[in-house]
Structures are given as C-alpha cells and as structure tokens.
Amino acid sequence: MSVTTQPAAACAAPRKKPASVRFREHMRRNRLAYILLLPAILVIAIVVIYPFFYAFNLAFTNTNMYNINSPDKTPQYNAGANFTEIFSDPQFYVILGRTVLWTVINVVCHVSLGMGLAILLNRNLKIRALYRTLLVLPWAIPQVIVAMMWRNEFNTQYGSVNLILQSIGLPAVSWLTNPFWAFVAVCIVNIWLGIPFMMIIILGGLQSISPEYYEAAQLDGATAWQQFRRITIPFLKPVLTPAIVLGTVWTFNNLNIIYLITQGGPNNGTQILVTYVYRAAFDYYRYGYSAAFSVIIFLILLVFCLFYIRATRGAGEVT
C-alpha cells in the first residue's frame, strides 16, 4: 500500500511578514481613524505635551523677567538649584500642610454633604426636580462671580454673614482680616461650590442600584445603617472613586476661590501651593522657580493618581 506524503513546504508554518510590511498594512486599514484622530493629537501636543516639557526644562534654569528676553543676560541652567531652594525653605512645608488640610476638609465635606443630599433627592419627594435645580445652581455659576459675591458677603461691616450672626446674638467676625477666619471663609465658599458636583454624581450612582437589594435586606431584618453599609457604599464605589479623585485634583489646584477672595492673605494665612506659584510667577517674575514648584505639584498629584489606579481596580472587583 502506497502512502501519499505532502510536500514539506505545505506542512511548514506560514512565514511571518516583516515588521515594515505589517506596519504599512496596519496604516492602510486604519488610515481614516488616524486622520480623524490627527486634529485631537495636534491640539494635545500643542496645549499639553509641549508646555509640560517646556516647563520641565524651565524648572532647571534661573529664568526670570530680566533675562528671558535680554540680549545681554540669557537664562542659565542651575542644576536643580530651584528645587534645593524650595525644599530648604520652611515656608514650603507650612504651605504644603495647609494645602493638604484645605484639600481634605473640602473633599470630605463635598462627599459627605453631597451624599446626604443625594440620598434625600433619591426618595419620592414632591417637586423633586425643583430641588435638584436649586441645589445645582452653585455649580452652574462661574467661579469668578461666586468668589466676588462671597467676598462681599464676608465683609466685616456690611456683609450679610455678619449681619445674620449679629441678628442671633453672636459677635461679628473679622472674616477677611484674620488668617484663621479667612481660611474658614474660603473653605466655606469652596464647599458650597463643590457639593452639587458630588451630589449629582452620587445621585446617578444611587439610581443605578436596584431596589430589589433593599427589599431583600428589609426582609432579612437589616437596619437602615446596615443597608447603607452593605449595599449602598459597595455599589457606589465605582462612582465615588473617580469622583473623589477628580474632586481632590480640582481642589488641590483651585486657584480662583482663594486668589479672588483673599489673594492668599492675610499674612499668607490662606496661601496654598498653586496661589504661591502664581505669585512667584506673576508678582515676582521668577519663572524658573515657579516652574520647579509646578513640577513638584505635578509629582504630588502623580503619586496620588497611582493610588487612584489601585482604588479603581478595587472598585472594579467590587462591581
């Protein structure tokens, strides 16, 4: 009996195409997609990538207003002297601690008060749509208008805040002339401004939870706190994680509220990192120093985002 054999070439594995050929075929198949992405890539390169590397390079120079465009004096690389000056200044650690305190106070209040309002609005209330509209209004108003409005409200002599305190028998407070009360004032404004964002995000998460879970828990005799702890919080984690991270980054870098109300005063009592960088760049014209400060802020937020990646993975496992 004869046995037919196939040629060796037919049994061999197909030959892999060179990388250049595969790349050309990939570009040919996805040409339209890259053409549509090109405008966005160009905008990101111009608005984000180039300024980032320019600022990073500027951080290692002694660039200031007097040598940036001078033909006689040109900026020189100073081998990280800006970073050495920043970390050797005790004021940096005071401002960093105040920035962390500012961020923690605001984010905790945003989340806790926003969750409380979201739980109330998630119930069957009359004219619930009107309540939602009124509660979202602070977020819809531009921050510049909000800051100028609250600055007048905190005025010691004719501001409505002190008038209300005096009407209930409490003494007037020097809101914008005392460092402690000025910090309390800007925290109040930013909390009032940031609650609607958290409320809307959490309300959307609450509406995505099926009522069947709560019905089953009630049949098992679970209390309201147990339902909140075992059902509401786990299901809200995928929503809360990015919301808290975004709120933290926005609050950490929030220049408008503090600068427009107190300009970092009085006596630098409300100064945080971003307001300090702004003054270094546009009041003292120390561009290299302020760029180094910006790099430090970026690294702080980068570390925080790494924790965020871990948290989102955990949230994914919960869902």
CA distance 186 to 153: 12
Contact call for residues 272 and 99 (beta carbons, < 8 A) = yes
Round the average pLDDT of the chain to a whole number and report it. 86
Contact call for residues 176 and 266 (beta carbons, < 8 A) = yes
How far lies 269's CA from each of 101, 150, 197, in Å? 13, 18, 27
Mean pLDDT of 46-73: 86
Q: What is the pTM of this model?
A: 0.83
pLDDT at 73: 75
Mean pLDDT of 193-200: 90
- More confidently predicted of 106 and 319: 106
Q: What is the pLDDT of residues 217-229, one digit of tens each?
A: 888 888 888 888 8
Q: What domains can be seen in the chain, in order of their start residue?
A: 19-58 (no CATH), 90-318 (1.10.3720.10)
